[in-house]
Structure 1
Amino acid sequence: MPKIFIVEDDRTITNAMIKEFNKWQYLSQTVQDWNSVVAEIRTFQPDIVIMDITLPTFDGFYWTSQLRQVSDVPVIFVSAADMDPNAVRAIATGADDYVVKPFSLNVLISKIQAVLRRTKREAIPMESLTYEDYRLNILTNELKYQDHTVKLTPTEGTILKIFFLNAGKLVTKQQLMQNIWQGGSFIEDSVLNVNMSRLREKLDQVNLRGRLVTERGRGYRLVTADES
């Protein structure tokens, strides 16, 4: 199980990260003493570090430079600051990647997986998600149910992945567009509607269409067989 150390003082963001990491079977740890960040990282021995820039004591650049003196653990910076010049400084300090707030957790997960693969720290990459008797391969975008296999497009696969990860919960259109298109500011609802329609047609092949219900004016929900 990959281990992630989170250096972030915003509890809302930290809690969201921890919840998402748990879904992907990643073990995470947060800072307890802001004067001993590097010591805590070394004790936890993570496979990757998520590093904010603005922190209670020293900033993320300082802690990364200190960390680089004793460890080569990958570091991904997250910050509300503009990409330039902080991105350049982050990489120069020893970071492996950079994400600007507000960011999609799916984008962060993708960057984490890419860094872990590149550094060969992720021994068993997660390839599939399951919901009841359904299995979605997130690498090939294939949905399997009993002896049936349905091939999805990358966008359809991403949409279904979001529903699998949030089974039983309401997922709004805004949440979908933010996760699929990294903000979705320039994406019209019609684009999502077309993809949802195509996905539903394919889900009909494995008796899952009726389980993806629309809550008018609110969003969508993947429900159990008893609820459908």
Structure 2
Amino acid sequence: MITIMIIDDNEQLQNEIGNLLTINGYSVLKPKDFDKIPKMVKDDSPDLVLLDINLASDDGFKLCTEIRSFSKVPIIFITSRNTNIDELMAITLGGDDYITKPYNTQILLARINALIKRAYPNDSNLDIIEYNGLKLNILSSTIEYKGNSKELTKNEMKILYYLLINKEKIVSRVEIMEYLWDSSMFVNDNTLTVNITRIRNKIEEIGLKDFIKTKRGQGYII
């Protein structure tokens, strides 16, 4: 699964971008301690970095230089600074792309997707989430466990994906439905129940029991 780190000290914007990326199938890291960014990039190994230039505690250009001293991770600058000099500096210091605010979300997603394909042309594992032996392949919408596999519907895949990216946390039914609505999928309470039951059955059919647990009055947890 593709993990993207968003380095922006505007918390609202960081959350907005994070929600957009999550809805579109990415795992997201949103650091708050900007004095330790290089260490966090080393420790967390994101597949791509979105980097602002103007940071309260540091400078995006300096951070880019520090990251480039040990990593070739793709870096996209996202900034309100729109001069040719700034863009030239960003690319010269090792940035792979440069997008100015305000940006079109579809263009941002397209740029991210294009850069990831260039950077990881042969890495199919970026589209797979694995937990406790279960593999969810996002591209093929299938689950696999010990060599056994099952196909999922689009809704089933989205629901299981959301539970997996929130693994070891209780996820409420309302959260799941809101996530699906944000993905342009409309489900009511009864439809969600049916989908959860089908997902459980398919997971059991490939040999894994009690993968999705119900927390009465709270929601579900993996």
Same fold by TM-score, threshold 0.5 exceeded?
yes
**Structure 1, residues 136-159: CA drift from partner, whole Å, max 9, x if none?**
212112111123111112221222
Structure 1 counterpart of 2:47 = 26
Change (3 A) 1:77 1:210: farther
Change (3 A) 1:134 1:6: same
Change (3 A) 1:162 1:2: closer
Change (3 A) 1:6 1:26: same
8 Å Cα contact 1:5-1:30 kept in structure 2 = yes
Aligned length: 188
Distance in 1 of aligned mates of 2:4 and 2:96:
11
Q: Which stretch shifts more, 37-46 or 204-213?
A: 37-46
Do structure 1's residue 47 and structure 2's residue 74 form an aligned pair? yes
Identity score, percent: 20
Q: Which stretch shifts more, 132-141 or 158-167?
A: 158-167
Q: Which of residues 74, 79, 94 is equivalent to 2:97?
A: 74
Query: Structure 2: which 5+ residue stretches go unaligned?
Result: 19-27, 32-40
Q: CA RMSD in A?
A: 4.1
Partner AA of 2:8 in structure 1: V
Distance in 1 of aligned mates of 2:29 and 2:151:
31
Change (3 A) 1:138 1:186: closer
Do structure 1's residue 61 and structure 2's residue 80 form an aligned pair? yes
Structure 2 counterpart of 1:8 = 9
Q: Which of residues 79, 97, 100 is equivalent to 2:107?
A: 97
Partner AA of 1:177 in structure 2: M
Q: Which of residues 6, 20, 37 is equivalent to 2:60?
A: 37
Partner AA of 2:107 in structure 1: D
SS of equivalent to 1:200: helix
Query: Structure 1: which 5+ residue stretches go unaligned?
Result: 52-59, 79-85, 99-109, 223-228
Partner AA of 1:37 in structure 2: G
Change (3 A) 1:69 1:50: closer
Change (3 A) 1:97 1:77: farther
After TM superposition, the structure 1 = structure 2 runs for residues 44-193 of structure 1, keeping only pairs within 5 Å, are: 44-45=67-68, 47-49=74-76, 51=78, 60-62=79-81, 66-70=85-89, 71=91, 73-75=96-98, 86=102, 90=103, 97-98=107-108, 114-117=113-116, 120-123=118-121, 124=123, 126-182=126-182, 187-193=187-193
**Structure 1, residues 71-127: CA drift from partner, whole Å, max 9, x if none?**
26335678xxxxxxx4xxx36xxx9835xxxxxxxxxxx767524246x13353502
Change (3 A) 1:198 1:64: farther
8 Å Cα contact 2:6-2:51 kept in structure 1 = yes
Structure 2 counterpart of 1:201 = 201
Structure 1 counterpart of 2:21 = none
Per the normalisation by structure 1, the TM-score is 0.61
Partner AA of 1:143 in structure 2: I
